[in-house]
Amino acid sequence: MKPRYSSSRRLCRTDSIRSGFTLLELLVVTTLMVLLAGVTIWTLRSELHRTQWETTLNSIENLDQKCRGEAQRSGRPVIMLIDTAAGRLWQARADDPEQAFSAAREVRLPSGFVIDRLRTASVDQAAGTLAIKIEPDRRAESYALRISGPGERAVWLLTAGWTGYQERWTEPAAEAASGNAGDRNAKRSKMDELFDSLGR
């Protein structure tokens, strides 16, 4: 004669086995969580870089416009000074460049950003200080700044001297990082074309 409680004993044993997660299930869930966290961090980092770039370029463009506005308002020339070593651009009086305006007329590049090339019709230098003189009629010499920053990216900010028109040109990542002469020549000819279109 078979005992009647054997099936219930088997049922209890099955319930106790299925009450937890298997190691494989835990590994799958953990892997999915790590992948999701990685994608989220990458997305947030990309968005942060994009925002930093936009803020930095807008600040430089706005400083140029403020300098032109101040020159027109005051009826006296104004100088916009660009110091690559300090990562700083600021507005100063043409008659006394040491006399700076308020902090609202200054841009300091955020950490990770650097101006690594300055260019006008008469100057093409990798580093140093450049003074852009802006006349009371808002005219100045056309200039271009190459700004490197997060994401191994380089952007040229070109400003037309006569009109203040500004244009951005992002170097392709391969060209910005490449060191061979062919890429440098192609990059230079593209920059020459853009710079010429501003009307030196």
- The answer for residues whose C-beta is within 8 angstroms of residue 125's C-beta and 6 or more apart is 117, 118, 119
Which helix (DSSP H) or strand (DSSP E) does residue 194 occupy? helix 181-198
Of 187, 106, 176, whose CA–CA distance to 147 is shortest?
Answer: 176
Question: Tens digits of per-residue pLDDT, 82-104?
Answer: 998 888 999 988 776 566 555 55
For the cut 50, the answer to whether the pLDDT of residue 181 exceeds it is no
CATH 3.40.50.300 applies to domain 19-198: no
Q: Is the pTM of this model over 0.85?
A: no
Residues 34-44: tens digit of each pLDDT: 888 888 877 77
The whole-number pLDDT of residue 46 equals: 79
| Predicted confidence band of residue 180 (pLDDT cuts 50, 70, 90) | very low
Q: Please report where in the chains the tokens 């650097």 appear, as a residue.
A: 114
Position 169 pLDDT exceeds 70: yes
Instruction: Tell me the average pLDDT across 166-170.
Output: 89
Domain map of the chain by residue range? 19-198
pLDDT tops 70 at residue 64: yes
